Amino acid sequence: MAGKLISTGLRHTTLPGNYVRPISDRPRLSEVSQLEDFPLIDLSSTDRSVLVQQIHQACARFGFFQVINHGVSKQIIDEMVSVAHEFFSMSMEEKMKLYSDDPTKTTRLSTSFNVKKEEVNNWRDYLRLHCHPIHKYVHEWPSNPPSFKEIVSKYSREVREVGFKIEELISESLGLEKDYMKKVLGEQGQHMAVNYYPPCPEPELTYGLPAHTDPNALTILLQDTTVCGLQILIDGQWFAVNPHPDAFVINIGDQLQALSNGVYKSVWHRAVTNTENPRLSVASFLCPADCAVMSPAKPLWEAEDNETKPIYRDFTYAEYYKKFWSRNLDQEHCLENFRNN
């Protein structure tokens, strides 16, 4: 099924049939609770041991946390949000120059998730970019709005540094050397998804994105500060993650679940829609190098007196990513395919 952009600027009064989920697979929004004790971690803290402890608790319990005082200025964040809104409010003719349903394209505007494979579509348009090394991809990026390339380049570079800082803390929180993750993940790729969820006439019947885990190592999400939409699954219950001003939402991807030997969880999350306001989010994904071999970190299981065994077999990120994109987004956890028998 070919996709069709929904960010037309026109309000839909009813939900087209190809977006309507079967009754057994609807968001049941009235059953979603607010997440009260969602970790908020101040990265400017000078007490590293406390920081490492907070990261450990957040990754083991939630697989998600928020960070403030992360080093990316409010000005750069505001510019990123502003240029993203500007992009999606351009004419259809201008936007369609970048449209593609091909998931292998490094710069593309698309809709839903993987329209070639889906039976039901998702109420989302998105611009997907490769962001590292910037000089390799920037020429493919949108030329309109005129400030797009400069603003997104600046934002991408700064967010990458935040990601590296967090990967160091995650390594330490597992009792590993500070640079363990960096070494194993190799020259990390970086992708961005600028997600746009227009007002939806019937939010109870569809998703912006259905439940999924992220296939990469670490995700750094800039949430819309005014509109809720992100939800995470904890102990079988969906919780709403309310936006916090000037914070990034960080989540563990499948690769860090594998590297931590399952100590840290890559958690199911989803995006829901609302009738009133459009919602924008900017997700930055740090990914292992394609040739990087992922396997549970040896120090976590190889000690003689340790009864823990490696849960996952060795695999390359390229192998994993191919598997991830060959399936439906909301099938079983993709990591299940890489378990040791």
pLDDT at 329: 58
The mean of the pLDDT values for the chain is 92
Give the whole-angstrom CA distance, residue 143 versus residue 230: 30
89-98 long-range CB contacts below 8 Å, 24 or more apart? 89/9, 90/144, 90/145, 92/5, 92/8, 94/144, 95/5, 95/7, 96/5, 98/127, 98/142
In this structure, are residues 249 and 99 in contact, taking their beta carbons and an 8 Å threshold? no
Pairwise pLDDT comparison (23 vs 6), residue with the higher score:
23
pLDDT at 119: 82
**For 93-102, 177-186, 240-249, 318-327, which range has the lowest pLDDT when averaged over its residues?**
318-327
Pairwise pLDDT comparison (89 vs 111), residue with the higher score:
89
| Segment 232-255 mean pLDDT | 95
Angstrom CA distances, 312 to 138, 168, 175, 208, 258, stand at: 36, 22, 19, 31, 6
| Segment 264-291 mean pLDDT | 96
* Predicted confidence band of residue 6 (pLDDT cuts 50, 70, 90): confident
The sheet carrying 33-34 orders its strands as 33-34, 237-240, 230-234, 269-271, 209-212
pLDDT per residue as tens digits for the range 126-178: 999 999 999 999 999 999 999 999 999 999 999 999 999 999 999 999 999 99
| Segment 246-255 mean pLDDT | 96
* Predicted confidence band of residue 85 (pLDDT cuts 50, 70, 90): very high
What the block records as the tokens of 330 is 């909301």
Give the whole-angstrom CA distance, residue 244 versus residue 247: 6
pLDDT at 304: 56
Residue 235 has pLDDT above 60, yes or no: yes
pLDDT-above-70 percentage for the chain: 96
pLDDT per residue as tens digits for the range 27-67: 999 999 988 889 999 999 999 999 999 999 999 999 999 99
pLDDT at 9: 79
* Predicted confidence band of residue 2 (pLDDT cuts 50, 70, 90): very low
Give the whole-angstrom CA distance, residue 158 versus residue 164: 10
Residue 107 phi/psi, 5-degree rounding, is -135, 120
pLDDT at 115: 67
pLDDT at 116: 65
* Predicted confidence band of residue 3 (pLDDT cuts 50, 70, 90): low
Confirm whether pTM is higher than 0.85.
Answer: yes
Angstrom CA distances, 135 to 97, 141, 189, 268, stand at: 21, 11, 13, 33
Highest mean pLDDT among 5-19, 104-118, 261-275: 261-275
pLDDT at 1: 39
pLDDT per residue as tens digits for the range 291-333: 999 999 998 887 656 677 899 999 999 999 888 877 665 567 8
pLDDT at 306: 65
pLDDT at 313: 95
Residue 44 phi/psi, 5-degree rounding, is -85, 0
Residue 142 phi/psi, 5-degree rounding, is -55, 140
| Segment 219-246 mean pLDDT | 94
Closest CA to 273 of 306, 228, 234: 228
